[in-house]
Structure formats: C-alpha cells, structure tokens
Amino acid sequence: MADPDSTHVVIIPSYNPGWRLAQTVREALGAWSPVWVVSDGSTDGSDRALAGERAEGGALRVLMRPGNGGKGAAVLTAAEEALRAGFTHGLVMDADGQHPADRIADFMRASREAPDAMILGRPVFGPEAPWIRLNGRKLSIALVTLELLGRSVGDPLFGFRVYPLAPLARVLRSTRGARRFDFDHEVAVRLTWAGVPALNLASSCRYLSRAEGGVSHFHYLSANTRMAWMHIRLITELLLYRWPAALRARRRRLR
C-alpha cells in the first residue's frame, strides 16, 4: 500500500452492501491511500467488517451517517470533511464491486494533469450487463446532451469519477436534488454549467450476481420517477436561465 496522498482521496458511499464492501475496500486500498467509506445509515453490519482494515496506518477512514440520505448526501458528507482535512479531489466509486479499483491510479493521474476538470468514467460493459439497463442509458445520454447543448458527458449514470471537491460541494449545497439515484446525472450537468470541464476515460463495469455479492437498491418505479422529475427541473432551468452557462460550456468544448 502506498503512503497516504495529501490531495486526492477515494470516497466509497455505502448503504447495506453486504460482505462485498470489505472486498471493494481491500481492492481500493491496494490501489490508493487514503480510502474513506461513508456508511449512509447502514443496518447490515457491513461497516463493522472493516475494523481490521482500519488498523493499517490510518489509510482507511469510516464516516458514519445516522440515517440513509442517499448517495449524494453521503458524498457531500465526505466532500465537506475532506475539504476540512485539506484534500482537493475525491474519486467516488460504488461499494458493490461494479467499479474497477485497478483504474483508480489512472484516474487520479488524469486529475492531477487537469485539476480543474472532473474525470468521468465511460463504462465498458461485459456480457452480463442487463439489457434494460443498457438501453435505458441511451435516453439518459440523449437528455444530458440536450441539457448541456452538446455531448461533453460520455455517460451521465456511471459513478466512477474524480471530482474537484470545492465545486462539487457548492453544487450539492445549491440544490435539494442530486441526493439519490439522480446524483451522478445531476452533478455532471450542474458542474458543467458551473464551468467545470469534463474528461471522459474508458473504464470497465461489472454487474455482479447475488452469489458474487452483488446488491442493488435500484427500484425502477421510484428511481425512474425521481429521474423524470430531475430532467424536468434541469430542462426548465436550462430554458429559463441556465442557457448562457450551457452556451459558454459549449464554446469552451469547441475551442
């Protein structure tokens, strides 16, 4: 394990991920230090399984939230604490093993080379990826292209990303949305409107079976209702007063 980095931290939001969390954390620690886990009101005891990992020179920190606020709320908790601790950037990855720990160092390197940018994963799916999820992404990609007046975000739903923490925290504080399954899409749009450029890097994505420890809290009706409301809000804002920011971001991309 490398010495802890002073500017870039790995952030893993976690809600009842089961035993897979410990494996995800071990893989992340093998690639980067420090790693912060945010237990977002978990009740399955998964955070207790990290006690042995926590003893390794402070490379792992576990932040506890009293209730389940969603991915965006967990990331905001970590971002604010990381800023207080002097960190400038955070790589967010899921707790369920979908995201590739072996790409952490590459994404962190890209972030150091372009510190003002967000480094967004562009997923490369395996044959096990559900058909309905793959086709559902096409609509999300089309809508984010509309909301940004162009294709700057390769995949608005893939959560393996490095964010500059200060603008991320500002964007999250500015909206009541972006707290649950709408987080990845909404923050990508709002950060772009705020002038943060996007760099897209290819990254593998695994869909794990239950036997492999895969856990999903995605509920199609409630999640899609939330996503539909998010798009209504974003497109309304775009038409009313965000279009100058979207045009500025478009001009920067075309330079």
The angle subtended at Cα 128 by Cα 127 and Cα 130, nearest 5°, is 110
Q: Is the pLDDT of residue 239 over 90?
A: yes
pLDDT of 206 reads 83
The predicted pLDDT at position 221 comes to: 73
Is residue 78 one of the residues assigned to a domain? yes
Per the domain annotation, does 163 fall within a domain? Answer: yes
Instruction: Record the tokens describing residue 179, joined without a space.
Output: 């707290």
Q: Tell me: the pLDDT tens digits for 17-46?
A: 888 899 999 999 999 999 999 999 998 888
Q: In the structure, what pLDDT confidence band is assigned to residue 230 with cuts at 50, 70 and 90?
A: very high
User: In the 8-state DSSP scheme, what is residue 209?
Assistant: -
Q: What is the pLDDT of residues 54-63, one digit of tens each?
A: 555 679 999 9
**2 within domain boundaries:** no
* Extended beta strands in the chain, E state: 8-14, 35-40, 60-65, 89-92, 118-125, 161-164, 198-205
Cβ-Cβ contacts under 8 Å for 248 (sequence gap 6 or more): 195
3 occurs within a structural domain: no
In whole angstroms, give the CA distance from residue 183 to residue 122: 16
Of residues 129 and 144, which shows the higher confidence score? 144
Query: Does 1 map to a domain?
Result: no
pLDDT of residue 127: 73
Within a domain: residue 173?
Answer: yes
Mean pLDDT of 171-188: 94
Burial class (CB in 10 A: 0-12, 13-18, 19+), 174: exposed
| CATH number where 218 lies | 3.90.550.10
Mean pLDDT (the chain, rounded): 89
Q: Which of 85-89, 134-138, 176-180 tops mean pLDDT?
A: 85-89
User: Does the structure show a pLDDT above 80 at 215?
Assistant: no
Domain count across the chain = 1
Token reading at 214 = 């895969």
Instruction: Please say whether the dihedral angle defined by the alpha carbons of residues 125, 131, 133 and 137, taken in this order, is positive or negative.
Output: positive
Q: How confident is the model at residue 149 (pLDDT cuts 50, 70, 90)?
A: very high
Other CB atoms closer than 10 Å to residue 135's CB: what's the count?
Answer: 9
Full domain range(s) for residue 239: 8-254
Percent of the residues in the chain that have a pLDDT greater than 90, as a whole number = 71
pTM for this entry: 0.91
pLDDT value, residue 48? 81
Q: For residue 228, what pLDDT is reported?
A: 93
Q: State CA 37 to chain mean position distance.
A: 13
Least confident span in 54-63, 97-106, 183-192, 193-202: 54-63
Domain-embedded: residue 33: yes
| Residue 143 belongs to a domain | yes
Q: Quick check: 1 pLDDT over 60?
A: no
The residues, ordered by sequence, that sit 6+ positions from 221 with a Cβ below 8 Å of its Cβ are none
Distance CA 107, CA 203 (A): 10
